[in-house]
Amino acid sequence: MKALLDRARSFKRRVDFESDEYRKLAVGQFPEALFITCSDSRVIPALITGARPGEIFELRNAGNIVPPHDAYGAASGEAATIEYALEVLGVQDLVVCGHSHCGAMGALKHGADLSGLPRVDAWLDYARPALEPVLGGDGGDPALREVVQLNIRNQLAVLRDYPVARQQLDAGRLRLHGWYYEIDTGKVHELDADGGFQVHGS
């Protein structure tokens, strides 16, 4: 924690806040994409994408799960973030980025006993039914590629049911993207039109 605190204290000295880039941030934000990904500390959207401050709007939670738009009734952090990004910020690209070696997906895959983590268990219930075909089994792949990639597809399907997203999609003002990030290699696999994930060369 001391190292984090020291870097926070020296942040203003390390960054040129007199530059136009940072002055513009005080005027408002104009992100290019809404990036929905896992809370996992090994997944850093700005590092993966090379994004500068103000370029991506982030939504992070365990397992990059998008609950059904009416799951919470009147309010939810996920629904509020999606609504704000699309309606207020006018974001035109939305990325759901899952990752290898995901703890949330691993717990689902292996049927982990989550009785001591009732809220985690309830949260994962949003993803569990649609992942049923790939849960259980020998669990020989530590990267959990099959489970994570199916979860990405499933969350994109849930997003399409959000009224605000459906309206933007129908109007041609929104593009949905699925990414699978490999923690151990740094590779980003992109979901293609055929439903597969491909690594594109630079």
Are the beta carbons of 197 and 59 closer than 8 angstroms?
A: no
Residue 179 phi/psi, 5-degree rounding, is: -125, 145
- Identify the pLDDT of residue 7: 80
Which residues, 6+ apart, have CB-to-CB distance to 144 below 8 Å? 100, 101, 102, 105, 106, 109
Are the beta carbons of 34 and 95 closer than 8 angstroms?
A: yes
Q: How far is CA 105 from CA 23, 86, 94, 188, in A?
A: 40, 27, 21, 18
Q: How far is CA 8 from CA 1, 15, 45, 60, in A?
A: 11, 11, 19, 22
105-118 pLDDT, tens digit per residue, is: 999 999 999 999 99
Q: How far is CA 168 from CA 38, 68, 115, 155, 176, in A?
A: 24, 17, 40, 17, 11
Q: Residue 14: is it exposed, middle or buried by C-beta count within 10 angstroms (0-12/13-18/19+)?
A: exposed
Entry pTM:
0.91
2-28 pLDDT, tens digit per residue, is: 888 788 888 777 777 777 777 888 889
Percent of the chain with pLDDT over 90: 78
Round the average pLDDT of the chain to a whole number and report it.
Answer: 92
Region 118-134 average pLDDT:
96
